[in-house]
Amino acid sequence: MQDRIKLGANRTGIASSPMHSEAMLDGLSLQDGSPQPAIGAAELRASYRVDAEPVGSMPPPNTLRGVVGAVGESLKGKRMHILLDKLGERAAYERSGARLYDAFLQRLSAGVDAALPGDMSLELVQTIRNDEVAHFTLLVEAIEKLGGDPTVQTPCADMTAVTGMGLIQAMNEPRATLAQGLQVLMAAELIDVASWELLIALATQLDQAELADRFTAALNAENVHLERVRGWLQGALQNDVALLAPSDGDGE
Ligand SMILES: [Fe+2]
């Protein structure tokens, strides 16, 4: 675990070796007329799309008492499946959000960071983590209210799990700095905010005013998360700059 980025022997850039980079650029012309595969990556992907099955499906409603249950086979019921799919996605994302914060809290508890930015504290981070769990619970209730099964991995939940893999991987990177961890959280929170906005619009369109109200409360909390994490990230970067002693500077 690192407290901040340091100067080192990074040779990934072209400027680290002008002689070799010149030779590499000279070699670019050799690629002209070089043998190409019979089918390119774009064509290959296009051919997969033609034959592709959907990413999963939505199950039929599991109760006749729910809104969907009563009208499960009607047009309204089919429209409701779109909302249930997105609710399943949001539930999956909020659950992984709590795990992201758990990993971040583990980092903070290890005490390796020289200074925490601004008003950042374990307690405040824990508050955000608890909000993510509360949002997950809210989504479970919403899915049940609509006659759905909250344990289903919906197609959009499947897709969002794949999307979130990079975030989880980056957050659990043992070499990550505090600022890098906060950058991961900011990415997650930006998706949280935009996704709750979409859910509110969808619930409203489907005459679910009570759910839309509850989702608006969640959106308000997410906006607070985003502002806090963005502020902490800014503070962490400013701390990194301020903590650099003159001897760490250009002379190294
Ligand atoms: Fe959040």
Split into its structural domains, the chain has a count of 1
The amino acid at residue 83 is L
- Residue 28 in any domain: the answer is no
Question: How remote is the CA of residue 14 from the centroid of ligand 1, in Å?
Answer: 39
Q: Is residue 119 part of a domain?
A: yes
Q: Is residue 210 within 8 Å of residue 89, measured between CB atoms?
A: no
The answer to whether residue 50 is domain-embedded is no
What is the structure's pLDDT at 247? Answer: 55
- Ligand 1: centre distance to CA 57 (Å): 27
Question: Whole domain around residue 191: which residue ranges?
Answer: 76-242
Check residue 251 and give its pLDDT: 45
Distance 24 CA to ligand 1 centre (A): 45
| Angle between the N-to-C axes of helices 209-243 and 178-205, in degrees from 0 to 180, rounded to the nearest 10 | 160
Q: Phi, psi (5° rounding) for residue 3?
A: -85, -30
58 found inside a domain = no
Does residue 249 belong to any structural domain of this protein?
Answer: no
**Residue 126 resides in a domain:** yes
Residue 233: what pLDDT?
97
Q: 223 C-alpha to center of ligand 1: Å?
A: 8
Ligand 1 center to 192 CA (angstroms) = 6
> What mean pLDDT is reported for the chain?
89
| Residues, CB within 5 angstroms of ligand 1 (ion) | 189, 192, 222, 225
pLDDT score recorded for residue 252? 44
* Residue numbers of the chain with a pLDDT score lower than 50: 64-65, 68-70, 249, 251-252
C-alpha of residue 222 to centroid of ligand 1, in Å: 5
CATH number reported for the structural domain that contains residue 85 in this entry = 1.20.1260.10
Instruction: Judge whether 10 lies within some domain.
Output: no
Has residue 1 been placed in a domain? no
